[in-house]
Chain A
């Protein structure tokens, strides 16, 4: 294993290359190369279509004879289905199909849209004779109208044998606890801890150095428990899918998904049909945030189409999105750490108990990320990271922006504030002293991957020092800290540093093809999935940069499994960094061809041709791209100018961020109000700065909303009591604090035009920055989310 190599006043690395990277990477890159479209505030390529209401989302396609599907859900947390009587529903006019577990092939799978073999346990059937949470599916109906489907659902009688349920994750693995997955088919495809007999969906255990020794060397030891709660993604467009058979009988799935290629693979397998008979089309998507990295509705909707031969639409109502979609996995984290008086962290021991709910979607990889995306942030020679994902009879966890790191930073970031205060050091200084730098590595990178060992990696760029400097200045750190003020409403500020990743190294793959048209425009086809993030625009900008053409000359089409090349999909902060590189390579091939054709046109050598401002300069002449295209298609030695490329990465360069929150705490009501929030972010080169800022602002507000108001309220039988926007409070414009995003450019050599990622990292800060700010204001340490008025008042009175 490569040892930690540092530069500066600590030790010298013997790897000169790394030293060079370190010197460059730690500096704020004053000289980002000049680009003609990368780094510019280009309009989103689909912006006007969306703003004028013309863009088509899944539900906006009209189809003749469309049937409407509805699902019947379990009212019990844990039960066996003894009998389903559908006879009355079948007699209802307009009912076209009813599916129960008896009607479907029993194919065990995971709904997690991940690469194959998926690291999530196989523990799910399209429909089963056992239900495992309130909201688990019992049967499906397709009818001529949603109203008839609703009525049919109400006419179905189900006889249950109610089983004892496990609602407390800390009791799930105790001997004698009810076993949630006793089906014989349950299994994992990769070598990883999995013990369904004890309700263990996944486990992790990594040791680096000796934490006991680290604790012995420490001047201060901290040992506390932190807890994060359930939350739902709340995309304004719920899950929705339309399935139909095309003129040759192939199954077409038009779906609101982040993972079209995984949908194709998983649905084909679950329905027992070849991949070649399935086409998945992703139209415009109304947000996903991880919820749509799940193959949730496509299989059952497709089964209804196969049964009826007709197009079927299945759309979640808002309540179904809360009850039966996916959530952020709640975690209880025990963190034990040691620190020396001088600020050296000697030991970090992170133990996680994660509640994955009734099914193990992302059960392993989310818990892995709780360690892998947090622990490398600070230097520490002795690290232990362990944990279990446990099944309970509660809603199912899944991918949610931040993906375990959000939970991990709730522990690490709060405890670092505790450490800094104990040794009397400003936390900004504490981070500056301890954070990982360019040229350094962390043993965690190698030890912890996603469902397998990780990939060793040297940090190429780290703008964290600049993030700390600029962020602290913007919030008024030195001026405002430790000044709660008089009166019942106290003021406080808090901060946290963060990192994430950019794609999953040696797992994720993205591909692109590009072809040139008569007029010098290009069709760019990408598997990558724009779910509202703006990736179509960012990828088009990268192609336009290579080809030296205006953005409008790139026509993007994304995510259609019949038309576009493969891409794993939109997750793991991968699209700009990974798919962007595939686009760059494909465009470079096309550029190469353009130069060849231009050289042929003028009997010159290709080496003497250069592409400048949309023209090729060759042999003292200038020739336009449209002229070259015309020549290549119609005149001589005709051929299609095109490119096709794939990209995988061997590293996952972390974006870094420093977040600062200023809060008011009303000691009479317990209400916490965020008045200002600063996010200083190093995402490498921002290909489109307003879109990058938008990613940050959206993530920050979602994080604040999660920290303060969003909460799943269950009754004692595991039923969700607040499945709507009336009682599950997500922030509206009126709740918005001042949010300031500061992009700190660095130039990541392995990314397209210096880009890293920005989509996930900024949701990880608010819990921690706000908790630390509350401590600054009123001296109470909140380690359990959400920070509601009740929770604050209770802690104030202790």
Chain B
């Protein structure tokens, strides 16, 4: 089965298997920022943006993505040219092991796209599906506030 999909701005035609999960497809195609943490839609390590909305890619059939646009963390920025959110995460000390970070950053990106000045409560709600065991979330929330402020030119 062939799937037409746009990943990080590139149009692709990919061979997929019936029942294949988007998580497995993306990793097979080398998008290793998409992490597997539970395969049950509980941890958020595999979050990608599907048409701009954060989804657990382990819970999405690849076949459902025909003609749609996917963004992974690789698509946001590079170490040489990081996205402001990626930089804010490093600057705030919000990255420890970094395994949850790609998913966290994409959930944050979706939040800021809709709500450029979120309250702490709104940030916490937006991150509810992204588990982190290292940071205690304190510096992740700070990073998102910093990025939002920077984006507003503050």
Contact = CB atoms under 8 A, between A and B. Distances in A.
Interface of A: 41, 43-44, 46-57, 59-60, 62, 233-238, 284-287, 289, 315, 317-318, 531-534, 690-691, 693-694, 697-702, 724-726, 730, 732-734, 736, 739, 741
A48 B86 contact: yes
Contacts of A53: 31-34, 72-74, 101-102
A733 B128 contact: yes
If over half of A's interface residues share one DSSP class (helix, strand or loop), that class is named, otherwise mixed; here it is loop
A51 B98 contact: yes
Contacts of B105: 51
Place the interface of chain B in its size category. Answer: 35 or more
Contacts of A233: 133
A234 B42 CA distance: 12
Report the 5 A-B pairs with minimum CB-CB distance, sorted nearest first: A53-B33, A532-B97, A50-B98, A286-B99, A690-B93
Contacts of A699: 136
Interface of B: 30-40, 42-43, 45, 72-74, 76-79, 82-83, 86-87, 89-93, 95-102, 105, 123-125, 127-141
B140 A532 contact: no
A236 B89 contact: no
7 contacts: A48-B79, A52-B74, A52-B82, A52-B86, A698-B132, A725-B38, A732-B137
Given A48-B86, A51-B101, A56-B32, A697 B40 contact: no
B124 A236 contact: no
Contacts of B99: 57, 235-237, 286-287, 532
Given A532-B97, A739-B138, A730 B78 contact: no
Contacts of A49: 79
A649 B141 CA distance: 38
Given A41-B93, A52-B79, A236-B100, A286 B136 contact: no
A287 B97 contact: yes
Given A52-B77, A694-B93, A733-B128, A724 B101 contact: no
Contact of B97 (A237, A238, A739): A237
B136 A702 contact: yes
Nearest to B77: A52
Given A53-B74, A54-B74, A532-B96, A739 B37 contact: no
A694 B123 CA distance: 19
B141 A733 contact: yes
Contacts of A55: 98
Contacts of A318: 37-40, 42-43
Nearest to B74: A53
A322 to B, nearest CB: 11
Contacts of B72: 53
Given A48-B90, A284-B98, A734 B133 contact: no
Contact of B40 (A59, A237, A315, A726): A726
Given A287-B134, A701-B137, A50 B38 contact: no
Contacts of A734: 124-125, 127-128
A532 B40 CA distance: 24
B109 to A, nearest CB: 12
B135 A697 contact: yes
Contacts of A56: 32
A236 B96 contact: no
A733 B140 contact: yes
Given A52-B76, A237-B99, 15 more contacts: A48-B79, A52-B83, A53-B32, A54-B74, A237-B35, A286-B35, A318-B40, A532-B97, A532-B99, A534-B96, A694-B139, A698-B136, A732-B130, A733-B127, A736-B124
A50 B101 contact: yes
A54 B33 CA distance: 7
B139 A690 contact: yes
A730 B135 contact: no
A733 B123 contact: yes
A235 B73 contact: no
Contacts of B93: 41, 44, 690-691, 693-694
Contact of A698 (B86, B90, B133): B133
Nearest to A285: B97
A51 B84 CA distance: 11
Nearest to B106: A53
A101 to B, nearest CB: 29
Given A286-B99, A289-B133, A54 B35 contact: no
Contacts of A315: 36
Contacts of A41: 93
A666 to B, nearest CB: 20
Nearest to B137: A733
Contact of B90 (A51, A234, A701, A733): A51
A698 B134 contact: yes
B95 A50 contact: yes
A49 B39 CA distance: 24
A697 B136 contact: yes
Contacts of A286: 35, 97-99
Nearest to B34: A53
Contacts of A702: 133, 136
B130 A733 contact: yes
Contacts of B89: 47, 51
From B105, B123, B134, name the one whose CB has the most chain A CB atoms within 10 angstroms: B134
A233 B131 CA distance: 13
Nearest to B31: A53
Contacts of B73: 51-53
Nearest to B102: A53
A493 to B, nearest CB: 20
B136 A532 contact: no
A239 to B, nearest CB: 12
Contacts of A47: 89-90, 95, 98
A417 to B, nearest CB: 24
Nearest to B76: A52
A725 B131 contact: yes
A698 B136 CA distance: 4
A289 B136 CA distance: 13
A43 B134 CA distance: 17
Given A49-B79, A53-B33, A236 B43 contact: yes
A503 to B, nearest CB: 21
A51 B82 contact: yes
Contacts of B33: 52-54
B75 to A, nearest CB: 9
A530 to B, nearest CB: 9
Contacts of B78: 52, 54
A736 B136 contact: yes
B133 A697 contact: no
Contacts of A690: 92-93, 139
From B33, B38, B40, B96, name the one whose CB has the most chain A CB atoms within 10 angstroms: B96
A697 B38 CA distance: 24
Nearest to A318: B38
Nearest to A238: B37
Contacts of B130: 732-733
A236 B97 CA distance: 9
A9 to B, nearest CB: 39
Nearest to A234: B133
